[in-house]
């Protein structure tokens, strides 16, 4: 009986933990990003498409744009794990960038992060693409 009660108690504790992890509305609100030293939200929904002169990257702006965000940094790598190097920067309110330096028949991985003065947001999720070769 004691063993059964222990299992039941562990199950209740784990269920409560899973509910809190699955329901972000149960967590405390994050620090407002406009406060000095506070976190900057990452850009989201990074998408890549092939255009005539390269790759066009589009994303959803950081939650702090407009506001604390002063621009965005676009980075690229030839393998998922990096290393990533900066291929461009755009100003606040801009949610797209065209990489005209991509070489044909090469696969590239891209990420974007917001800048707020000397502070950076986390990177977005990666987007990948391969520039087609010439026919």
Q: Is residue 97 within 8 Å of residue 57, measured between CB atoms?
A: yes
- pLDDT tens, position by position, 59-71: 999 998 888 899 9
The SS3 call for residue 45 is strand
Q: CA 129 to CA 123: how far, in whole Å?
A: 18
Interval 105-133 mean pLDDT:
91
Residue that wins the pLDDT comparison between 24 and 91: 91
How much of the chain, in percent, has pLDDT values that exceed 70?
70
Write out the two tokens for 89: 């920067």
pLDDT reading at 42 higher than 90: yes
Query: Do 70 and 89 meet the contact criterion of CB atoms below 8 Å apart?
Result: no
| DSSP, res 25 | G
Average pLDDT over residues 91-119: 92
Q: Copy the structure tokens of residue 8.
A: 């039941």
Domains annotated for the chain, with CATH where assigned, are 44-130 (2.60.40.10)
Is the pTM here over 0.85, yes or no? no
Bigger pLDDT: 72 vs 4: 72
Task: Look at residue 128 and tell me whether its pLDDT is greater than 90.
Answer: yes
Q: Whats the size of the chain, residue-wise?
A: 135
What is the reported pLDDT for 1?
Answer: 42
E strand or H helix that includes residue 2: helix 2-22
Half-sphere exposure of 89 (CA within 13 A, CB side): 10
pLDDT range class, residue 109, cuts 50, 70, 90: very high
């Amino acid at each position: 009986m004691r063993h059964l009660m222990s299992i039941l108690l562990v199950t209740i504790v784990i269920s409560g933990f899973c509910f809190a992890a699955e329901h972000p509305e149960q967590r405390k609100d994050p620090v407002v990003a406009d406060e000095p030293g506070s976190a900057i939200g990452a850009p989201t929904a990074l998408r890549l498409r092939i255009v005539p002169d390269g790759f066009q990257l589009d994303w959803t702006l950081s939650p702090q744009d407009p506001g604390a965000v002063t621009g965005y940094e676009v980075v690229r790598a030839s393998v998922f794990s990096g290393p990533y190097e900066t291929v461009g920067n755009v100003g606040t309110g801009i949610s797209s960038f065209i990489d005209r330096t991509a070489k044909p028949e090469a696969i590239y991985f891209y990420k974007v992060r917001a800048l707020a003065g000397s502070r950076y947001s986390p990177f977005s999720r990666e987007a990948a693409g391969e520039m087609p070769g010439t026919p």
